[in-house]
Chain A
Amino acid sequence: MRRPLQLRSDAPLTPGGYMSLVASGMGIAALLALAILGLNLATGARFASLLTNLGLWLIIAVGFQVFVGSTGTISFGHPAFVALGAYTGGILTLPPAMQRIALPDLPGWLAGLDPGLWPATIAGGAVAALLALLIGPIVMRLTGIAAGIMTFGLLVIVNEMIRAATPLTRGNATFYGVPRLAGLTEVLVVVVLVVGIALAYKFSRWGLRARSVAQDPVAAEMSGISVVTSRLWAFVLSAFICGIGGALMGFFLTAFSAQSFYVGMVLPMMIMVLLGGMNSVAGALTGAVLLTFWEYVMRLIETGGMGISLPPGLSQLTLGAGLIAILFFRPSGLWGSREFFIAPVGQTRKGDNP
């Protein structure tokens, strides 16, 4: 069979094969990014904010998928990493004049750093990753419901700490004055990079170990794999990506509060990953696209923007119904554990998945 576009869940072992695997996955992400850019141009940038929002969700969904897909464990705590990224990026890039007004009690060593967009974004990811590294050795001992509850506890604790750390975060008040450093293009560049990182990890030996632990921890351990360590790296990488997404979100929104990254963020993250297939990076991307557009269309209908008027709450209602339907008919999501790759035409290996 000659198919240029293949669905596969395996990885070739040779280094060349691995690199081309990651590169072709990134290529498909780049096509998606170009499509979004094209859509933006075609509509005269009327939907730029919707499309940028979509880009941010693509990053966050991929970050969340790295953990959920690799460990088979659901986390309610990931909005905390997004929050840390947003606040870190915001604090670092706030212009000095604005810092004096908005954060008068900011510690001196944090004031006036202004490292620019990319260092600040990476710093946001790094702070989130550091938290994951510190708490991971404890949290990663748990799986299933216990892990879910513990990560929810993490979300609550981080949220409370952000509210309490007034000199850094303005507490309960809105954090404002962040310069608008990121727009659609920057966000989409990061989407492509992040997809590359997620695929490189998934098919690396570390990603493979985490996936084997997710399926059968005892059998993995009997093969010489440390259960906690292999889960921990998935957690740290996932936090890093979510932190980066958070920092960019901050640079795009320019004003946010602790409430922006709380329980309300858990549901969209969860739906995106479950919808597309929680074991697939392509699934996270698909889920983010579907959910973002669905919510937009539903909100349009709710506000009478499409000429029909329906009661508010419809978007949540249809979303819930849609999720139930997906989980009923396709419990492993749209793509299961599959990824899209561009394979040279005619090259189908013996024993490939159909």
Chain B
Amino acid sequence: MLELDRVSTGYGRVRALDTVSLTLGAGHTLAVLGPNGAGKSTLLKLVAGLQAPWSGTLKLDGSADLSPLDVTARVHRGIVLCPEGRRIFTTLSVEENLCIGGTALLARPGGAQRMREGLERAYSLFPILAERRHGPGSALSGGQQQMLAIARALMAEPRLLLLDEPSLGLSPVMADEVYATLAALKAEGMTLIVVEEAAGRPLGLADTAMILRNGRTVWRGAAAAARDPDLLQRAYLGDHAA
């Protein structure tokens, strides 16, 4: 579904990603791990279109080149980013947040109907959002805001959902709940890329994993194989740490 071939990018003159490649099949889940500043978020921004590549190619569905498409066009193609720090619209109501997320639907046939179905689906997935639907986003707790952020991203009917640190700042119970939801989405056949610093939960979810450090891929393989503590320690801290 998604193919990155030796992609590099950065901010100003600082290189944040250095010749990173990956292939992701439809319905698969990829966990992107690594320490702070490894380039994990940059990788998601690159796929979402918030960050332009310096070199290398990004392809969707084998042939279509992603580079000329801006963020909005990529949302219409089904690539949706659930951003780090949630970034929900706190001044809008919960339902308005969801409607904003469904903007891309309205350009398609039967958009209004799909918007209503999307809302119903979001409320059955996260009943707490149904309870708070007319309240402002600012009244939600951190975990509820994360649920709203995921629900908002789902409103666009993504084929490829990009999640940037979905468990950041959540209590363990909340984080487990968020990952249970992600597992349900995966079971429905959605393709996911999950970025996290803490390896435990994403590795339980993902099929494959890659570990970044200083913008380079230091390890790539099956998610199950990445659960080796020695491997993680070396990958996060460098070879001299082992």
Task: State whether B103 touches A209 (Cβ < 8 A).
Answer: yes
Task: State whether A223 touches B83 (Cβ < 8 A).
Answer: no
State the Cβ distance, A330 to closest chain B Cβ, in Å: 16
Counting CB contacts under 8 A, is B48 at the interface?
Answer: yes
How many angstroms from the CA of A13 to the CA of B106 in the assembled complex? Answer: 14
Query: How many residues on the B side are at the interface (Cβ–Cβ under 8 A)?
Result: 36
State the Cβ distance, B146 to closest chain A Cβ, in Å: 14
Counting CB contacts under 8 A, is B81 at the interface?
Answer: yes
Task: State whether A224 touches B134 (Cβ < 8 A).
Answer: no
How many angstroms from the CA of A349 to the CA of B131 in the assembled complex? Answer: 10
Task: State whether B99 touches A208 (Cβ < 8 A).
Answer: yes
Counting CB contacts under 8 A, is B179 at the interface?
Answer: no
State the Cβ distance, B208 to closest chain A Cβ, in Å: 25
A211 and B92 in contact, given A10-B134, A223-B152, A223-B156 (Cβ under 8 angstroms): yes
Residues in A with CB closer than 8 Å to B100 are 208-209, 212, 220, 223, 225
Task: State whether A208 touches B95 (Cβ < 8 A).
Answer: no
Name the contact of A223 in the complex, choosing from B94, B104, B119 (C-beta under 8 A): B104
Name the contact of A212 in the complex, choosing from B71, B89, B119, B155 (C-beta under 8 A): B89
State the Cβ distance, A301 to closest chain B Cβ, in Å: 39
Nearest opposing residue in chain A for B162, CB measure = A222
Residues in B with CB closer than 8 Å to A10 are 92-93, 95-96, 134-136
Q: Which chain B residues (82-99) contact chain A, with CB distance < 8 Å?
A: 83, 87-96, 99
Number of A-B contacts (CB under 8 A): 93
How many angstroms from the CA of A349 to the CA of B133 in the assembled complex? Answer: 10
Counting CB contacts under 8 A, is A205 at the interface?
Answer: yes
How many angstroms from the CA of A303 to the CA of B88 in the assembled complex? Answer: 53
Which of B72-80, B181-189, B222-230 participates in binding chain A?
B72-80
How many angstroms from the CA of A11 to the CA of B92 in the assembled complex? Answer: 10
Task: State whether B89 touches A9 (Cβ < 8 A).
Answer: no
Counting CB contacts under 8 A, is B50 at the interface?
Answer: yes
How many angstroms from the CA of A353 to the CA of B132 in the assembled complex? Answer: 9
Task: State whether B92 touches A212 (Cβ < 8 A).
Answer: yes
State the Cβ distance, B220 to closest chain A Cβ, in Å: 27
Task: State whether B95 touches A223 (Cβ < 8 A).
Answer: no
How many angstroms from the CA of A208 to the CA of B101 in the assembled complex? Answer: 11
Task: State whether B99 touches A351 (Cβ < 8 A).
Answer: no
How many angstroms from the CA of A211 to the CA of B71 in the assembled complex? Answer: 19
Binary per-residue interface labels of chain B (144-177) against chain A in the complex, 1 for a CB within 8 Å, 0 otherwise: 0000000010011000000000000000000000
Residues in B with CB closer than 8 Å to A218 are 50, 83, 87
Counting CB contacts under 8 A, is A105 at the interface?
Answer: no
Task: State whether B134 touches A349 (Cβ < 8 A).
Answer: yes
A208 and B133 in contact, given A215-B91, A222-B48 (Cβ under 8 angstroms): no
Task: State whether A224 touches B89 (Cβ < 8 A).
Answer: no
How many angstroms from the CA of A215 to the CA of B136 in the assembled complex? Answer: 13
Residues in B with CB closer than 8 Å to A219 are 83, 87-89
How many angstroms from the CA of A351 to the CA of B80 in the assembled complex? Answer: 28
A222 and B89 in contact, given A349-B134, A351-B133 (Cβ under 8 angstroms): no
Residues in B with CB closer than 8 Å to A350 are 131, 134
Question: Residues of B with Cβ closer than 8 Å to A?
Answer: 48, 50, 71-72, 75-76, 80-81, 83, 87-96, 99-101, 103-104, 106, 116, 119, 131-136, 152, 155-156
Task: Please name the 9 residue pairs, one residue from A and one from B, whose CB atoms are nearest each other, closest first.
Answer: A224-B75, A224-B104, A10-B93, A219-B87, A351-B134, A224-B103, A212-B100, A10-B134, A351-B135
17 A–B contacts from the bound complex (CB under 8 Å): A10-B92, A13-B95, A205-B99, A208-B92, A208-B100, A211-B92, A218-B83, A218-B87, A219-B83, A220-B89, A223-B75, A223-B152, A225-B100, A225-B103, A350-B134, A351-B133, A352-B135
12 other A-B residue contacts (CB within 8 Å) besides A205-B103, A215-B91, A221-B72: A9-B91, A10-B134, A211-B91, A222-B71, A222-B75, A224-B71, A224-B76, A225-B72, A226-B72, A351-B133, A351-B135, A353-B135
